Structure 1
Amino acid sequence: MASSTFEWLVGLLEPLLHCPGGGPRHLPAASRLALGLSHLYTGAPYAELAARFGVPEAAAHSCARRLRRVHCTKFHFWLAFPSHAADIRAVSVGFESLPPDGGLPGCCGAVACPRFGVGGGVSTKLLADASCRILSIAVGFRGDQLDSRVLRRSSLYRDGETGRLLNSAEQYLVAGAGYPLLTWLMVPFKGVATDASQGDFNTLHKLMLRPVLRTISSLRNWRVLSSPM
């Protein structure tokens, strides 16, 4: 992370990083943020973080917990599917402009359900745009559940089925072969393509899935997601 980005985050989060009812009050906001981010990125035990930063173990635990709480309660709206037609159209344009030759028109997001935690014990529903930005996320599903079941248990599915998600019948999301074909969810032809047009479609469909797969790959760099949950 660039120092300018870190300083921007400190300024943004400083009023929110104070721990109610006590906590490491003597630590500056930059140290609290560094502790919290270090825990997310490394997944290191609190005792190891405490030794690295020269603070009590309780302080390391408090800083990490506070940053997680701030993310979940104050900034969840950053991970929301666009509600305005112009913003949804901008997402679609991004997929149409994917290199090398662009994707299909009308795509407004790519869906996948990665597994996190030890042994993939927790499943997550993830929706990303063409720039790999997360548009919607739902967590806490058992890792042994099928992707299609995880999707059906999410609010994204309910919004799609009731017509509240997209603005027109020409707009849709894309997902892999493990998902059902729906009026708002486009999946590839299964098995071996029977003609050239099916093969061409599957090639373009695979192209439009790449952003969400890159998003998942980036998330796996945060080693806390590989720790017990």
Structure 2
Amino acid sequence: MQDDSMRDWPEVRAWRKAKRAELIERRLALPATDGAEAAAVVANLRAAEVPELATGLIGFYWPFKREIDLRPFVRDCLKTGARAALPVVVEKGRPVEFWAWQPRMKMKPGIWNIPVPAERAPVQPDVLLVALVGFDEAGYRLGYGGGYYDRTLAALSPRPLTLGLGFELGRLPTIHPQPHDIPLDAIVTERGIAWHRSRGRPLSDTAEGYASPPCFLHELDCT
């Protein structure tokens, strides 16, 4: 059951700051030599068979603080005809831009020294793969607290399909969502994939083939 007792934004913000630090510490403590959990997340993403990942434009992220490294997966997607882009903070407090990315292209340090393409080539993603610090049962994401994801998703039109990727250690009953928080369409972890929406719409409003009911891939009774 969700705890909705926190309704004051300063209180929620303080709670998120503490929870964010706790979850990042737990993620950093994962054994560096054991990539089984990360590999399982990527395997579940592949198993979802999202059409946009095969032929669309994929907005993804450069791994930071032991986030799941999607670069090998995205390289495979490029071989099937997809294109890729990385988020770039061009102005503090504004939506990010997505700049076209290819393997072995020239990069430069961006915010927090995360590599970004050296040349500005803005594009519009069809699907976003978003890193999770934490997430809740309703599909809301706990990130790094900068608000860039929510501002960006609110500004993108048409809205891309948005999938969050993280570890089960980040699962929370609720992040105490606020009016500015935008939920993800699906959450992918080492346990499986859970669909919540499709481009922000309830699953009952769409007939897209990959918009299955919220469930985990290994559960046989989720049809």
* TM-score normalised by the chain length of structure 2: 0.28
The structure richer in helix per residue is 1
Q: Considering only CA atoms, is the larger Rg found in Structure 1 or Structure 2?
A: 1
The structure richer in strand per residue is 2
